[in-house]
Amino acid sequence: MDPAPTMTARSTANTPAPPMGPIALFSIPTLIWGSTWLAITFQLGVVSPEASVVYRFALAAILLGAWCLATGRSLRFPLAQHGWFAAQGTFLFGLNYLCVYWAERYVASGLVAVMFSLIVFLNLVGVRVFFATPVNRRTLAGATLGITGVVALFWRDFSAGQADAALGVLFGVGGTVFASIGNMLAVRSQRRTVPLLPGVAWAMGYGALVIALVAELDGATWSFEATPRYVLSLLYLAVFGSVVAFGTYLTLLGRIGAARAGYVGVAVPVVALLLSTVFEHYEWTLSALIGAGLCVAGNLLVLMPRSAGGRE
């Protein structure tokens, strides 16, 4: 934003940049995460999903930790807090993304993004369970629409008896559940005024360590694909998809709450489906169109502001 004409160069230099508003905080993670679903497909193939997740979040943790040190943010926390960071990293940056990578081996990236939009309902259930926030009838109606939408979206594959689609849905839903648990842990940290970026750096590092352990237990092969396709997608996912997007989203989460921040979950699959249609040549059917529409409608129903004095 340009300074006002009456401001001198000296006063401008000493004036801190204004914080990003909700629109910017909403748009940045929406556009980035809408494209990361497609970027993940460039990671699949030679390198195991476990290794790719470890590379992504280990790199993101190092970059974010370095940024914190460079900007004077302390990375020191009590030992008990590290336990919470490890839990958040395990669910939000570890198991969640491992399931997403597995899911995209079986179904189009845009469809996984639509399934992931169910996190809106899971977040609302989570804040009800952990923070005693009421869940109204509109939430239940929206959840019903969302689940019905996912079934319609995959109806073609289910009716054809495709086992791959069932595996993709299973991993996609599992990743969504893990991510919602991670979101609740993030809300807990922010309510206790834990510094955002240092906390995310530690959580990402712990998430990478947990998936490295999973890789060892699963006997995954450790390899690296030194091609532009793999390296550039890894850098994009680590820098933008992990550091930039998560930093802005978690800031939004703390500023306007989990429910309203969930609008990101409505917009991301729309962007992802558009990219999937263009680059993955996803073929739309009537049931798929209806399903995507029901998912979006269900999310909007849940997230719309309540009417003043109205019962819901």
What pLDDT, on a 0 to 100 scale, did the predictor assign at position 73?
A: 93
Joined together, the tokens standing for residue 197 give 């970026």
Other CB atoms within a 10 A radius of the CB of residue 278 amount to 11
d(Cα 286, Cα 78) in Å, to the nearest integer? 54
In this structure, what are the phi and psi dihedrals at residue 104, rounded to the nearest 5 degrees? -75, -5
Q: Grade residue 161 by pLDDT with cuts at 50, 70 and 90.
A: low
Lowest mean per-residue pLDDT among 53-67, 154-168, 220-234, 281-295: 154-168
Tell me which residue of 12, 46, 5, 32 sits closest to 227, measured CA to CA. Answer: 46
Look at residue 15 and give its three-state secondary structure.
coil
Joined together, the tokens standing for residue 70 give 């460079």
d(Cα 173, Cα 53) in Å, to the nearest integer? 18
Share of the chain above pLDDT 70, in %: 87
Lowest mean per-residue pLDDT among 106-115, 128-137, 302-311: 302-311
Average pLDDT over residues 146-171: 79
For residue range 190-223, what is the model confidence (pLDDT) as tens digits? 888 899 889 999 999 999 999 999 999 989 999 9
Q: Grade residue 262 by pLDDT with cuts at 50, 70 and 90.
A: low
Q: Grade residue 148 by pLDDT with cuts at 50, 70 and 90.
A: confident
d(Cα 212, Cα 58) in Å, to the nearest integer? 10
Reply yes or no on whether the pLDDT at 308 is more than 80. no
CA angle 265, 90, 79 (to 5 degrees): 125
Please give the radius of gyration of the chain, using alpha carbons only, rounded to the nearest integer. Answer: 20
Where are the chain's structural domains?
21-303
What pLDDT, on a 0 to 100 scale, did the predictor assign at position 12?
A: 34
Between residues 150 and 310, the one the model is more confident about: 150
Asked whether the beta carbons of 265 and 117 are under 8 A apart, the reply is yes
Reply yes or no on whether the pLDDT at 5 is more than 80. no
Reply yes or no on whether the pLDDT at 103 is more than 90. yes
What pLDDT, on a 0 to 100 scale, did the predictor assign at position 159?
A: 63
Q: Grade residue 307 by pLDDT with cuts at 50, 70 and 90.
A: low
Average pLDDT over residues 230-255: 87
For residue range 8-44, what is the model confidence (pLDDT) as tens digits? 333 334 444 456 777 888 889 989 989 999 999 999 9
